[in-house]
């Protein structure tokens, strides 16, 4: 007879696997914040600066006429896609999660620099609520993606891949998705009302 599905058990397994993967998650957090500091303190070439500004302008143009709900939906789907692919594409030696952490950290550091230049350090306090739920969700996804890429170095490759993959998928739906929904509601509301 098969065991009955228990949400409580699934959450227990998820938190256990996160605890077991903490070094990979901490590694991603360390890389992200290192490149955030690089983006904030290291001057970038003008060509790169222009590309980043173009990307920001495009993003603002895409979202400026959206309704409150459309904005929340856009933020959620964007973060969902980036978290999911950051996790599953970790299968290729963990390279994709590393690149994602570097790029996002650098971009956030650069955006923080622009914000401080235009409005002072107090602007950073206003940016803080935007990342309270979003960043943990992304760190967990990328950390699990990084761990997923290590299956190739294990003895029982197929068994480890299966275990890492399904544990990551469980965490994605039970923990990452609720965090991203909460993040999208908060972020979409703050942006919509210009807070």
| Within-domain flag for 16 | no
Residue 7 in domain: no
The per-residue pLDDT for range 171-185, each reduced to its tens digit, is 999 999 999 999 999
Has residue 122 got a pLDDT over 90?
no
| Chain segment 64-81, per-residue pLDDT in tens | 888 999 999 999 999 999
Question: Domain for residue 42, yes or no?
Answer: yes
For residue 157, is it within any domain? Answer: yes
- The mean pLDDT of 54-67, rounded to a whole number, is 87
d(CA 137, CA 135): 5
Say if 48 falls within a structural domain: yes
3 within a domain of the structure (yes/no)? no
3-state DSSP assignment of residue 38: helix
Indicate whether 18 pLDDT > 50: yes
Contact present, 145 and 86 (Cβ < 8 Å)? yes
Can you give the pLDDT at residue 116?
85
The pLDDT-based confidence of 1 (bands split at 50, 70, 90) is: very low
Q: What is the pLDDT of residue 2?
A: 56
- Whether 182 maps to a domain, the answer reads yes
Report angle CA 26, 171, 155 to the nearest 5 degrees.
70
Domain limits for position 33: 21-192
pLDDT of residue 195: 64
Q: What is the mean pLDDT of the chain?
A: 91
Q: At what angle do helices 95-119 and 46-63 cross, to 10 degrees?
A: 90
Residue 13 lies in a domain: no
User: Residue 48 class from Cβ within 10 Å (0-12 exposed, 13-18 middle, 19+ buried)?
Assistant: exposed
pTM for the model stands at: 0.92
The number of distinct structural domains making up the chain is 1
**pLDDT cut 90: percent of the chain above it:** 68
Q: Indicate if the alpha-carbon torsion angle 65, 71, 75, 81 is positive or negative.
A: negative
């Amino acid at each position: 007879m098969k065991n009955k599905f228990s949400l409580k058990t699934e959450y227990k397994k998820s938190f256990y696997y996160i605890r077991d993967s903490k070094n990979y998650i901490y590694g991603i957090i360390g890389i992200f914040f290192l490149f955030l500091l690089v983006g904030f303190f290291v001057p970038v070439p003008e060509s790169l600066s222009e590309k980043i500004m173009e990307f920001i302008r495009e993003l603002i143009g895409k979202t400026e006429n959206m309704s409150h709900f459309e904005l929340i939906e856009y933020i959620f789907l964007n973060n969902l896609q980036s978290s999911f692919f950051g996790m599953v594409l970790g299968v290729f030696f963990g390279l994709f999660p590393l690149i994602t952490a570097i790029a996002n950290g650098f971009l956030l550091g650069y955006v923080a620099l622009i914000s401080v230049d235009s409005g002072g350090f107090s602007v950073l306090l206003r940016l803080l609520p935007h990342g309270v739920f979003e960043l943990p969700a992304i760190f967990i996804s990328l950390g699990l993606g990084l761990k997923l890429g290590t299956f190739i170095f294990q003895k029982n490759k197929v068994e480890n891949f299966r275990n890492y993959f399904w544990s990551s998928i469980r965490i994605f739906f039970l923990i990452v998705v609720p965090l991203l929904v909460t993040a999208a509601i908060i972020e979409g509301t703050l942006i919509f009302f210009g807070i």
